[in-house]
């Protein structure tokens, strides 16, 4: 399987790249900064420099040629302001959807976040509120405007702990934490589970193996 990952230098993306490479799949990581090429190569990915905030649909579609699936794991990142939450977390996700359609790539996995269904509570930090709104807007665009075979994954609080391989995965789950490695492994499982298309799934640590959780999601 050839998988193109937007936000290829992110923590989850690099773990996903390692998981895919370990299976013998091809991971292509889209990155904005050429300085990140070596890190992606070390993760077993094929780095492609493409600034999603400035690329056109045609530019991006050219990088998706021959792909079996795309994964949107990009984010403006810590220290970015509210404006970039919109241009990256929302607009770049929509751009990837348009490029996927143009390139004939049907499968699209969007890494979102738990908590986006509800409006930010009063007193929420402005940048965090902008992040949640951008993620929800990205979901709404993907699920409401496109005809792609999409799956939205909403992880809970992310940790860098050792993976457990056991999760809870459903449309709605009790808020909790999940390791980034387990998130990456769930993404791989979803890529190989085409019947999960059309679903929005929340993810936290739990008691069920990843394989069983994805099968019964």
> What is the pLDDT, as a whole number, of residue 76?
76
Strands 177-179 and 166-170, sheet pairing: unpaired
pLDDT digits (tens, 9 = 90+) for 122-156: 778 888 888 899 999 999 999 999 999 999 999 99
Name 208's bridge partners: 167
At residue 126, φ and ψ (nearest 5 deg) are -60, -40
Q: Which of 77-86, 133-142, 192-201 has the lowest mean pLDDT?
A: 77-86
> What is the pLDDT, as a whole number, of residue 118?
84
pLDDT digits (tens, 9 = 90+) for 12-34: 999 999 999 999 999 999 999 99
Whether the predicted pLDDT of 78 surpasses 90: no
Q: How many whole angstroms separate alpha carbon 49 and alpha carbon 81?
A: 23
pLDDT digits (tens, 9 = 90+) for 59-76: 999 999 999 999 999 987
> What is the pLDDT, as a whole number, of residue 85?
87
Instruction: Tell me what the pLDDT averaged over the chain comes to.
Output: 95
> What is the pLDDT, as a whole number, of residue 25?
98
> What is the pLDDT, as a whole number, of residue 90?
95
Q: Write the Ramachandran bin of 7: left for phi over 0, alpha for psi from -120 to 50, otherwise beta.
A: left
Instruction: Please measure the distance between the N-terminal and C-terminal CA atoms of the chain and give it in whole angstroms.
Output: 22
Residue 86 near residue 129 (C-beta atoms within 8 A): no
Residue 73 near residue 5 (C-beta atoms within 8 A): yes
pLDDT digits (tens, 9 = 90+) for 170-195: 999 999 999 999 999 999 999 999 99
Whether the predicted pLDDT of 36 surpasses 80: yes
Q: How many whole angstroms separate alpha carbon 189 and alpha carbon 186?
A: 5
> What is the pLDDT, as a whole number, of residue 120?
77
Residues, the chain: 217
Q: Cα–chain-centroid distance for residue 80?
A: 18
Q: How crowded is residue 165: how many other Cβ atoms within 10 Å of its Cβ?
A: 14
User: Going by C-beta distance under 8 Å and a sequence separation of 6 or more, which residues neighbour residue 139?
Assistant: 110, 112, 116, 152, 200
> Given CA atoms 48, 54, 56, 57 in this order, what sign does their dihedral have?
positive
């Amino acid at each position: 399987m050839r998988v193109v990952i937007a936000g290829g230098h992110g923590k989850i993306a690099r773990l996903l790249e390692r998981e895919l490479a370990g299976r013998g799949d091809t991971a292509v990581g889209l990155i904005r900064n050429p300085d990140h090429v070596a890190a992606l190569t070390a993760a077993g990915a094929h780095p492609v420099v493409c600034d999603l905030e400035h690329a056109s649909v045609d530019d991006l579609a050219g990088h998706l040629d021959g792909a079996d699936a795309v994964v949107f794991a990009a984010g403006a990142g810590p220290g970015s302001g509210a404006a970039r939450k919109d241009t990256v977390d929302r607009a770049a996700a929509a751009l990837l959807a348009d490029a996927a359609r143009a390139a004939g790539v049907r499968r699209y996995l969007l890494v979102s976040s738990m908590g986006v269904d509800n409006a930010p509570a009063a007193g929420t930090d402005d940048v965090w509120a902008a992040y949640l709104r951008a993620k929800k807007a990205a979901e709404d665009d993907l699920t409401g405007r496109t005809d792609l075979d999409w799956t939205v994954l909403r992880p809970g609080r992310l940790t860098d702990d050792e993976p457990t391989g056991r999760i809870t995965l459903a449309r709605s789950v009790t808020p909790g934490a999940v390791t980034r490695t387990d998130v990456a492994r769930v993404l791989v499982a979803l890529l190989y589970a085409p019947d999960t298309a059309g679903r929005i799934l929340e993810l936290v640590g739990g008691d069920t193996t990843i394989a069983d959780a994805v099968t019964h999601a």
